Amino acid sequence: MVYQLGSALLDAFVLAIVSKGDAYGYQISQEIKTVVNLKESTLYPVLKRMQEAGYLEVYDRPFQGRNRRYYRITDSGQDKKRYYVKEWIDFRMDVERILRGGESDEQTGISADFE
């Protein structure tokens, strides 16, 4: 991908992934990597920061003789996720308007998915 992943978008990714169900760090990083190149060392400080902000809760569960750390979204995290989704929709619409030069789909011949 040619676009940079900012911290707010990374936070939104994490909250969206964890909102589907509790997840551990490697699992979260693998899902993010389907969209952008992300080093796992980048993710863990984000998870810690989001935990400290009250968006995520953490618990450990034994797995193959070791503890695996899981992340669960909080009510505050759900609120933040909804905020990010709304902001993303507004941002995406503005970006598409600019990229299309203010023209509609019919005028540019470009579908909503830019196919």
Average pLDDT over residues 84-89: 95
Q: Please tell me whether residues 31 and 44 are part of one structural domain.
A: yes
On whether the CB atoms of residues 42 and 48 are closer than 8 A, the answer is no
Q: Please tell me whether residues 46 and 85 are part of one structural domain.
A: no
pTM score of the predicted model:
0.81
Q: Please tell me whether residues 79 and 36 are part of one structural domain.
A: no
Q: Please tell me whether residues 66 and 83 are part of one structural domain.
A: no
| pLDDT higher than threshold 90 for residue 108 | no
On whether the CB atoms of residues 45 and 92 are closer than 8 A, the answer is no
On whether the CB atoms of residues 56 and 34 are closer than 8 A, the answer is no
Q: Please tell me whether residues 25 and 62 are part of one structural domain.
A: yes
Q: Please tell me whether residues 69 and 95 are part of one structural domain.
A: no
54 Ramachandran zone, left/alpha/beta (phi>0; psi -120 to 50): left
Question: Rounded distance, CA 90 to CA 10, Å?
Answer: 17
For 69, counting Cβ atoms within 10 Å of its Cβ (0-12 exposed, 13-18 middle, 19+ buried), the class is middle
At 12-64, the pLDDT tens digits run 999 999 999 999 999 999 999 998 888 878 899 999 999 999 999 999 998 98
Q: Please tell me whether residues 81 and 37 are part of one structural domain.
A: no
Q: Domain count of the chain? A: 2
Q: Which domain holds residue 93?
A: 75-104
Residue 12 lies in a domain: no
